[in-house]
């Protein structure tokens, strides 16, 4: 019997209807049963009409293309000799995928639901073959090589959209092109900026400045420096290096005007000094907000936006790059606890199904806690993960509420000069809750003093 599994919220990819030639990748998310060995593997499905999954002895996953069929052999005892296959159908609207279970012993699943015989598989859905986890992604960039990319992040990515962004940033790194990185909290905007700076080989420093912490009465001394205190501003500190502006969307109109003037002239004048100082910086900005929308609403200077958005990249949230969860899980828990701690398959299913509203940062913190609680030679179980996630129910559980909370917290920190006790009183919360929020967002209160 043919069954179509409805697309879940976590799989929000739209098919490439009417967008020209269709391309797709098969991505191996990984398996906790073999410590995520070979996780992140990518295969192009160009000229492939069928993918066959079966078991192989040994430790390494094997693949072979013969004619128009891709054979994947998985080294797990949970996989049958002839386990499953994906049939790829080319139609006038692109590619369609049917996942078929071949009477396997342990079944084949789509988003944790066992399929009885055959089911339609949608791009972006996780499917399971004998405790190994897979995904098919449609690819819009036709010339993108099908491979796991480790350009800006040691864990890397197999998400086609992020692979394309990272390859573009790699080409732009040696240039002076200003970059604008947009994305939810925890998506790695500052990590990306630091990686671009390192790849640029600029001899100067990487200087990060939180624009939300710059009140109008402090903006001059922070940006330009103080002659009385013989203190350089951040433009001088980053001379011949990279200046990273965080929270661009929080910049006040007065600060926007002064920032634009400095960038347009390429020089600054310290407060209390009458001689300008030249600087040479590469500017990278990050924002949670849609700056284009702020420009259209008259809340952000269009001339400043044009100077800062030489290349505009949106980093995808973790719920839209679930194919990377195997690699990310392995990197985090192995680095925290060593090879002794294992992750149960049921626990990894929980990782795949959680929405991770705080993104990679939340995954890191959760797995770090779980690794410690599991103990040496222990196992991260589904129950342990559930307990950790349940203990954080007071935290926002949607991207919108996360952004709203962060904006509120940053605003109060700026008003109180980083006084967390005052912030707690203003928000009518316990101080320990404010500190938990600050830790989750990785905010430094000292930056607001």
List the CATH number of the domain containing 234.
3.40.50.300
Task: Give the number of other Cβ atoms within 10 Å of residue 111's Cβ.
Answer: 19
pLDDT at 406: 76
Rounded average pLDDT over 55-60: 93
**Given pLDDT bands bounded at 50, 70 and 90, which one contains residue 229?**
confident
pLDDT at 355 over 50: yes
The count of C-alpha atoms lying within 13 angstroms of the C-alpha of 289, restricted to the half-sphere facing its C-beta, is: 20
Q: Extract the tokens encoding 91.
A: 């139609």
pLDDT at 333 over 50: yes
pLDDT at 396: 59
Rounded average pLDDT over 190-210: 94
- Same domain for 103 and 8, yes or no, is yes
Q: Extract the tokens encoding 330.
A: 């392995």
Rounded average pLDDT over 319-346: 83
Closest CA to 200 of 241, 244, 154: 241
**Given pLDDT bands bounded at 50, 70 and 90, which one contains residue 395?**
low
- Same domain for 304 and 348, yes or no, is no
| Residue 339: domain span | 318-390
> 113-114 and 126-129: which strand pairing?
unpaired
pLDDT at 397: 59
Does 152 reside within a domain?
A: no
pLDDT at 64 over 60: yes
The mean pLDDT value of the chain amounts to 87
Rounded average pLDDT over 144-164: 93
* Alpha-carbon distance values, 381 to 67, 218, 351, 370 (Å): 42, 49, 11, 9
- Same domain for 165 and 300, yes or no, is yes
Rounded average pLDDT over 274-288: 92
CA distance 414 to 418: 6
In the chain, helix, strand, coil percent, each to 5? 35, 25, 40
Rounded average pLDDT over 155-184: 95
Last residue of a domain, one of 314, 330, 348: 314
* Alpha-carbon distance values, 409 to 272, 417, 430, 438 (Å): 33, 12, 13, 8
* Residue 84, SS3 per DSSP: strand
Which secondary-structure segment (H or E) carries 310? none
Does 240 reside within a domain?
A: yes
CATH of the domain at 355: 1.10.8.60
Q: What percent of the chain has pLDDT over 70?
A: 90
> Which residues have CB under 8 Å from 248's CB, separation 6+?
180, 211, 285, 286, 287, 289, 291, 308
pLDDT at 103: 95
- Same domain for 202 and 329, yes or no, is no
The residues facing 114 across adjacent strands are 109
- Same domain for 287 and 342, yes or no, is no
- Same domain for 254 and 330, yes or no, is no
* Residue 432, SS3 per DSSP: helix
**Given pLDDT bands bounded at 50, 70 and 90, which one contains residue 210?**
confident
pLDDT at 16: 41
- Same domain for 21 and 85, yes or no, is yes
pLDDT at 159 over 80: yes
Does 144 reside within a domain?
A: no
CA distance 430 to 449: 21
Does 145 reside within a domain?
A: no
Task: Give the number of other Cβ atoms within 10 Å of residue 145's Cβ.
Answer: 10
CA distance 448 to 102: 61
Q: Select the highest-mean-pLDDT range: 48-57, 246-255, 420-429.
A: 48-57
pLDDT at 7 over 60: no
- Same domain for 350 and 404, yes or no, is no
- Same domain for 256 and 386, yes or no, is no
Q: Extract the tokens encoding 345.
A: 């398959």
Between 230 and 88, residue with greater pLDDT: 88
> Which residues have CB under 8 Å from 261's CB, separation 6+?
none
Q: Extract the tokens encoding 437.
A: 């929020």
Does 260 reside within a domain?
A: yes
- Same domain for 166 and 305, yes or no, is yes
Whether the CB-CB separation of 213 and 448 falls below 8 Å is answered with yes
Does 23 reside within a domain?
A: yes
pLDDT at 206 over 50: yes
Rounded average pLDDT over 389-414: 73
Residue 183 backbone dihedrals phi, psi, to 5 degrees: 170, 165
Whether the CB-CB separation of 247 and 211 falls below 8 Å is answered with yes
pLDDT at 416 over 90: no
Residue 118 backbone dihedrals phi, psi, to 5 degrees: -140, 145
**Given pLDDT bands bounded at 50, 70 and 90, which one contains residue 331?**
confident
Helices 160-172 and 189-200: crossing angle in degrees, nearest 10, is 40
Does 155 reside within a domain?
A: no
* Residue 328, SS3 per DSSP: helix
Task: Give the number of other Cβ atoms within 10 Å of residue 431's Cβ.
Answer: 12
CA distance 205 to 197: 9
Instruction: Give me the number of domains the chain comprises.
Output: 4
Last residue of a domain, one of 280, 314, 348: 314
The residues facing 119 across adjacent strands are 3, 99
pLDDT at 14: 40
- Same domain for 310 and 332, yes or no, is no
Whether the CB-CB separation of 103 and 53 falls below 8 Å is answered with no
Helices 431-441 and 399-416: crossing angle in degrees, nearest 10, is 110
Does 421 reside within a domain?
A: yes
CATH of the domain at 7: 2.60.200.20
Which secondary-structure segment (H or E) carries 392? none
- Same domain for 66 and 134, yes or no, is yes
Whether the CB-CB separation of 301 and 291 falls below 8 Å is answered with no
* Residue 396, SS3 per DSSP: coil
Last residue of a domain, one of 314, 347, 364: 314
């Amino acid at each position: 019997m043919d069954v179509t599994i409805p697309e879940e919220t976590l799989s929000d990819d739209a098919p490439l209807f009417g967008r020209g030639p269709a391309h797709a990748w098969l991505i191996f998310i990984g398996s906790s049963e073999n410590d995520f060995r070979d996780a992140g593997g990518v295969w192009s499905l160009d000229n492939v009409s069928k993918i066959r999954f079966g078991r192989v002895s040994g430790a390494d996953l094997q693949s072979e293309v013969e004619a128009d069929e891709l054979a994947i052999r998985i080294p797990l005892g949970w996989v049958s000799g002839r386990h499953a296959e994906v049939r790829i159908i080319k139609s006038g609207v692109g590619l369609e995928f049917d996942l078929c279970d071949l009477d396997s012993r342990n079944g084949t699943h789509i988003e944790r639901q066992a399929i009885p015989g055959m089911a339609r598989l949608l791009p972006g859905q996780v499917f399971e073959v004998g405790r190994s986890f897979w995904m098919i992604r449609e690819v819009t960039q036709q010339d993108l090589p099908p491979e796991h990319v480790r350009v800006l992040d040691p864990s890397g990515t197999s998400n086609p959209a992020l692979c394309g962004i990272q390859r573009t940033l790699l080409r732009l790194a040696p240039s002076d092109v200003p970059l604008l990185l947009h994305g939810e909290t925890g998506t790695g905007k500052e990590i990306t900026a630091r990686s671009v700076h390192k790849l640029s080989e600029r001899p100067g420093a990487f200087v990060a400045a939180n624009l939300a912490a710059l009140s109008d009465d402090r903006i001059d001394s922070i940006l330009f420096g103080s002659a009385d205190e013989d203190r350089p501003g951040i433009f001088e500190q980053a001379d011949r290096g990279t200046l990273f502006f965080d929270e661009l969307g929080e910049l006040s109109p007065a600060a926007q005007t002064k920032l634009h003037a400095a960038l347009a002239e390429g020089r600054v004048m310290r407060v209390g000094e009458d001689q300008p100082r030249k600087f040479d910086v590469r500017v990278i900005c990050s924002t949670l907000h849609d700056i284009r929308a702020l420009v259209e609403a008259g809340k952000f200077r269009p001339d400043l936006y044009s100077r800062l958005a030489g290349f505009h990249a949106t980093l995808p949230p973790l719920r839209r790059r679930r194919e990377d969860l195997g690699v990310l899980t392995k990197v985090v828990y192995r680095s925290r606890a060593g090879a002794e701690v294992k992750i149960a398959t049921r626990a990894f299913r929980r990782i795949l199904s959680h929405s991770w509203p705080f993104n990679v940062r939340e995954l890191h913190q959760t797995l770090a806690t779980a690794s410690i609680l599991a103990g040496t030679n222990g196992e991260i179980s589904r129950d342990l993960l559930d307990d950790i996630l349940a203990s954080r129910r007071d935290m926002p559980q949607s991207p919108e509420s996360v952004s709203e909370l962060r904006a509120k917290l940053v605003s109060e920190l700026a008003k109180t000069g980083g006084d967390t006790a005052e912030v707690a009183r203003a928000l009518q919360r316990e101080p320990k809750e404010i500190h938990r929020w600050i830790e989750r967002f990785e905010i430094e209160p000292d930056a607001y003093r």
